[in-house]
Structures are given as structure tokens and as C-alpha cells.
Amino acid sequence: MKRFDLRHLKNDFLGRLEELITQELQVNEVGIFLLSVEDFENVQKSADIVKKTQNELLNSLRFNEVDWTIVVKRVKQ
């Protein structure tokens, strides 16, 4: 399990999220991503990235006004 803090990227985290899922996680490894979501559409876009990369979104949780956590399991090479 790896943890990635992308909050410093604000709403520009989508490209980095995809890169980390595809390059930093091993198959069957779980990644926890901390995001700062100022635009709620980015929550859906992050779920779309997980689906596009053919991996599994295990959880998506808002834990304060702007911070969000998604948990992703890498299932595809």
C-alpha cells in the first residue's frame, strides 16, 4: 500500500493521478490518494481516470471541506 499526497496540486492533479496509478503502483497494490477538490467535477473525473486505466476504485471519501481521499487497487498492467 502506498500513499500519495496530491493536495499541493489543487485542481491540477488529474494528470499526476493517472501517472501514479499506471507507473507507481504494482499489480494488486493499493494506493491512497489525498486530493484537494475545489471543483466537485474533479471527483468524477478522478473516478473516470481509474476506470479508463482499467483499475478498481475501492473508496472515495470527503474528509473536510476541500480534502478528498480515493483508494485505488491496481489490477491491470
In CATH, what number is assigned to the domain containing residue 31?
Answer: 3.30.110.40
**Mean pLDDT over the full length of the chain:** 94
C-alpha cell at 22: 499506471
What range defines the domain where residue 24 resides?
2-74
Structural domains of the chain, count = 1
Question: Over the stretch 15-26, which tens digit does the pLDDT of each residue have?
Answer: 999 999 999 999
Binned at pLDDT 50, 70 and 90, residue 38 comes out as confident
Q: Which residues pair with 5 in a beta bridge?
A: 34
